[in-house]
Amino acid sequence: MGGVTTIGDRADRVPKQDRSRATRQRLLEAAVACLAEHGWAGSTVTVVAERAGVSRGAAQHHFPTREDLFTAAVEYVAEERSTALRALFPEGAADDRRAVISALVDLYTGPLFRAALHLWVAASNEEQLRPRVTELEARVGRETHRIAVDLLGADESKPGVRETVQGLLDMARGLGLANLLTDDKARRDKVVTQWTALLNEALV
């Protein structure tokens, strides 16, 4: 009669898998929030687990080490933001370059950037963390650059175009740093307008 329980057993496994995915996502989101609010020193696995509403043991089941948890958290949100950015312009290259530039700048003024910054600072002092964060940052940077090239309709075969797009992203990072201390929206809007004019000339 073992076959009688097969469907029920399978049905039980699916919700368990769903619960596991939901727990993992709560932990990742809680880790990013903690890192953004409290920095590396104040963001322990215990603090994150409490914020996510799970036990420390459950947290360590998903992420055996603190480094595993926080690098995965920043990567998770980076992927979410990249997906959201592409969703804003589902057709790819946009006619309104200002909207694209503004959206790219927004990537560097939210909790993801704040959390990533804390992780970078920690990695500069933590030998175990540094190579993982360096690899993550390189990967996220490449993906952001690809998105920018696609959305701006930039032709990188032309001299200077790649550097122009990278300059835009470096500028956006700088605006994100300025935004950490004060709401810099008014100046940021003026800079976005100026970069739009520059890129419209450079990417013709």
Buried residues in 7-44 as b, exposed as e (16+ CB within 10 A): eeeeeeeeeeeeeeeebbebbbbbbbbbbbeebbeebe
pLDDT band at 29 (very low <50, low <70, confident <90, very high): very high
Q: Mean of the per-residue pLDDT values for the chain? A: 85
pLDDT band at 31 (very low <50, low <70, confident <90, very high): very high
Q: Does the pLDDT value for residue 14 go beyond 80?
A: no
Residue 37: what pLDDT? 87
Residue 1: what pLDDT? 47
pLDDT band at 56 (very low <50, low <70, confident <90, very high): very high
Q: Does the pLDDT value for residue 189 go beyond 80?
A: yes
Closest CA to 57 of 101, 23, 99: 23
pLDDT, one tens digit per residue, over 119-129 is 888 888 888 88
Q: Does the pLDDT value for residue 12 go beyond 60?
A: no
pLDDT, mean of residues 80-89? 82
Residue 126: what pLDDT? 83
Let me know: does 156 contact 148? Beta carbons within 8 Å: no
pLDDT, mean of residues 143-170? 92
* Percent of the chain surpassing pLDDT 70: 92
pLDDT, mean of residues 154-159? 92
Residue 111: what pLDDT? 82
